[in-house]
Amino acid sequence: MHHLARKLSEEMLKRNEVLVVTHIDADGIAAGSIACGSLTQAGIDHDILFVKSLDDDATGRILERSPEFVWFTDIGAGSYDLISEIPGIITDHHVPSESFAGGDSGRLLPPIRGKGPNMLNPHMYGLDGSLDLSGAGVTYILAKEMNSENVRLSGLAIVGAVGDMQDQNHRRLIGSNRKILSDAEEHGSVRIDTDIRYFGRETRPVPRLLKYSTDPLLPGLNGNHSACVTFLEEIGIPVKAGDDWRCWSDLSSSEKQRLVSALVTLLLESGLGREHIERVVGECYTLVQEKEKSVLRDAKEFATLLNSCGRYDKAEIGMEICLGNREESLDEALNLLRTHRGYLVESLKVAADTGIIELDHLQYFHGGTRIKDTVIGITAGILMSSPEIDKSRPLFAFAHSDEGVKVSARATKTLVSRGLDLSVVMREAAETMGGAGGGHNVAAGATIPYNREEEFLELAQNIIMSQMRPE
């Protein structure tokens, strides 16, 4: 991989002008920022275009600019046919489309030079793009080959990986992400802490951190603010310092230990097994150069802030923040974060109102026009990781978009280990009806023509049935 990265970096460094095209989610914004940061470092003129997906419309917008060279980050692998005439380089971690696969061996080969964009992608090396390396990570590998000074961007690669939930299954980053973590630690941008895994270590008042616990859910505390306050007071942890709520990062280490022990006791008393209890604590990544109590200090919070920008047409604000331009951008992003939180609560209510419909091989709900196409995937992801949901079949979610009906699908690692590959399900089912789809085995998406949901579900069920081995 490094050998190819070296060759591609030589190609990149020959350019006078590069158009970066990236995805609007946290990983995509982090990836695009790493690309722009390394192009600035190399003195290469560049511009950036954020896209929801690479479809005909997005390709048209790229071609309109007659770019000399395009750097696709966190996007491109799954839509290779559409961009195969565009000169450029792809650094992506999505499952590549068949048009990129070379030879009969099943091993993916880079295309012949000069014919289309070349690609650096973990799937070409037997790695899993949903776990081992993110779009920001693979972009970082190329950036580091361009100039070793670009290790200063390694923290963004960690934010990208965490934004794509690559630390979720194992409660730590694994695979090639660990090499990037070493770079980031060595460079002094990231510290690895073994800490509470609940969201909001730096900025959420502790009662809120407990109230919104999902993985594992805290019985009796989840959803109940006053119960969280009482719980903390009973174990001698003051919830306020003067008028201000205390956050997890304000607690002393003995208070943190006391709280974790109390949570473990609560979970044991509720009859939860070890596999749930051990999820309370795991690796967390602190961006030590960021101010204390800033949303940018914890990698998960940073990633959520980027999602709050990108999902609401403001990806460029997220990029400004990644590149260190904070003044106005940060205030605007914090406003967007408040909007995003409220929007997610509403989206989850919509899903609860409509109800989840169970079919033989999948379950689904339809957000209609009430959930944005850019947020339907996050909603499905949150639901799939919630304890109430049936984990024996993947969850599909629909929402209307300007381009057609957006579908997001989420699975669990157990379903994947039984053969399920949602990237194939989404691609094949969507392509059969003139749509497009792809992604990762555990999380994938598609856009299909209007009013074809039933037919899509039928096709998807058939593919799922053919993939899955019995339990």
Task: Print burial letters for 200-226: b (CB count within 10 Å at least 16), e (below 16).
Answer: bbbbbbbbbbbbbbeebbbeebbeeee
Pick one of Zn ion, ligand C5P, none as the site partner of residue 377 (Cβ within 5 to 8 A by kind): ligand C5P
With contacts defined by CB under 6 A, name the span among 271-279, 318-326, 440-448, 460-468 that binds ligand C5P.
Answer: 440-448
Closest distance to ligand C5P from the beta carbon of 105 (Å): 24
Cβ at position 132, least distance to Zn ion in Å: 12
97 belongs to the binding site for ligand C5P (CB under 6 A) = no
Position among 128, 132, 145, 164 found at the interface with Zn ion (CB under 5 A): 164
- The residue from 446, 448, 459, 463 that contacts ligand C5P (CB under 6 A) is 446
Which of 98-106, 107-115, 329-337, 433-441 is the region at the interface with ligand C5P (rule: CB under 6 A)? Answer: 433-441
Q: Which of residues 240-299 bind ligand C5P (CB under 6 A)?
A: none
Size of the site for Zn ion (CB under 5 A): 4
What binding mask, one character per residue, do residues 71-110 give for Zn ion by CB under 5 A, x or -?
A: ---x------------------------------------
Q: How far is the CB of 315 from ligand C5P (least distance, A)?
A: 13
Of 31 and 457, CB closest to Zn ion = 31
Nearest distance in Å: CB 288, ligand C5P:
25
Q: Is 94 in the site for ligand C5P (CB under 6 A)?
A: yes
The reply on whether position 96 binds ligand C5P by CB under 6 A is no
- 135 interacts with Zn ion by CB under 5 A: yes
CB nearer Zn ion, residue 165 or residue 237: 165
Cα angle 93-182-302, degrees, rounded to a multiple of 5: 65
Among 25, 128, 145, 421, interactor with ligand C5P by CB under 6 A: 25
Considering the rule CB under 5 A, would residue 27 count as an interface residue with Zn ion?
yes
310 is an interface residue for ligand C5P by CB under 6 A: no
Amino acid identity of residue 129, one-letter, is G
Q: Which range touches ligand C5P (CB under 6 A), out of 13-21, 241-249, 281-289, 442-450?
A: 442-450
Q: How far apart are CA 172 and CA 187, in angstroms?
A: 20
Candidate list 340, 437, 463, 464; residue touching ligand C5P; CB under 6 A: 437
Q: Which of residues 360-399 bind ligand C5P (CB under 6 A)?
A: 377, 381
Residue 332 CB, shortest distance to ligand C5P, in Å, is 23
Report the b/e string of 79-101 with b at 16+ CB within 10 A: bbebbeebbbbbbbbbbbbeebb
Partner that binds at residue 340, options ligand C5P, Zn ion, none, CB closer than 5 to 8 Å by kind: none
Q: Which of 35, 157, 165, 251 binds ligand C5P (CB under 6 A)?
A: 165
List contacts with ligand C5P (CB under 6 A): 23, 25, 27-28, 53, 74, 78, 94, 130, 135, 164-166, 168-169, 377, 381, 408, 410, 436-440, 442-447
